[in-house]
Amino acid sequence: MGVGITVEQLNAYYGHTQALFDVNITVLANRATALIGPSGCGKSTFIRCLNRMHETIPGARVEGTVRIGDLSVYNGTSATQLRRRVGMVFQKPNPFPTMSIYDNVAAGLKLNGVRNRKKLDEVVQTSLHSSALWDEVKDSLHKQSGASLSGGQQQRLCIARALAVQPEVLLMDEPCSALDPISTGKIEELIFQLKEQYTIVIVTHNMQQAARVAEFTGFFLLGKMIEFDKTEKIFTNPSDKRTEDYVTGRFG
């Protein structure tokens, strides 16, 4: 089973500019949670705080508490240790261009010191199966580079790469925004399957996508979490007028 995420009084800054204000949220294990809101409202900053990518930007800092299962993200946990447990898939597929499909998937394992060829073979195959890519690439694992795949395949390759290190949480920052409708459908189908094993947090601009894939949805506006509830309630009977205005298209 996956682990849940607890966030308390999270504030994030870029230099002197505050990007997140007192965000509190509990993400349940083995569920998909969507984050929606207009551009620049803090969704991506929030998701980057969950695996400490925010702090890689010069001058950026975070205050507050983030727990992933029993792990305190900002108190005594190294970023490397954390990222073994929290996988990340970005908006634009980013396979390593000079590496084969096989080496792309195995990269994280090798970085963590795994050299056993049988173990690597097993994990690569399992991860590609989990990302619904195995049947499409199994005959060209070593012959084809990750960058030679189509956009949708590249994104699924990046998901396989994230899954290979066996994380407990999978963060997805607008994973379908650069994809065609068929590839988007495959990724959404994948999210349904993956949440049986992983806790998933997905940032999306596509409200229909949030409604399709997520059990819970959080609405961000101007760096604040305005409302967080079951997805059905957010879209049919939100508690806050600002949420209602956004999901009905009155602004944003």
Residue 136 included in any domain: no
In a domain, 103, yes or no: no
The count of structural domains within the chain is 1
Q: Are 60 and 48 in contact (CB under 8 A)?
A: no
Which CATH number do you get for residue 23? 3.40.50.300
User: What are the tens digits of pLDDT across the range 29-65?
Assistant: 999 999 999 999 999 999 999 999 998 999 999 999 9
Q: Is residue 75 part of a domain?
A: yes
In a domain, 124, yes or no: no
How do residues 217-242 score in pLDDT, each as one tens digit? 999 999 999 999 999 999 999 999 99
Cα gap 31→40, rounded to integer Å = 25
- Residue 160 resides in a domain: no
Residue 3: the pLDDT is: 86
User: What pLDDT, on the 0 to 100 scale, is given for residue 113?
Assistant: 86
Give residues with Cβ within 8 angstroms of 196, minimum separation 6: 30
241 belongs to a structural domain: yes
The DSSP letter of residue 131 is: T
User: Residue 196 belongs to what domain range?
Assistant: 5-95+169-247
Tell me whether residue 119 is in a domain: no
Examine residue 19 and state whether it is found in any structural domain, yes or no.
yes
pLDDT of residue 1: 63
Give the residue ranges of the chain where pLDDT is below 50.
none
In this structure, is the dihedral angle defined by the CA atoms of residues 156, 169, 49 and 229, taken in order, positive or negative?
Answer: positive
Give me the pLDDT at residue 61, please: 94
Q: DSSP labels for 62-130?
A: EEEEEEETTEETTSS--HHHHHHHEEEE-SS----TTSBHHHHHHHHHHHTT---HHHHHHHHHHHHHH
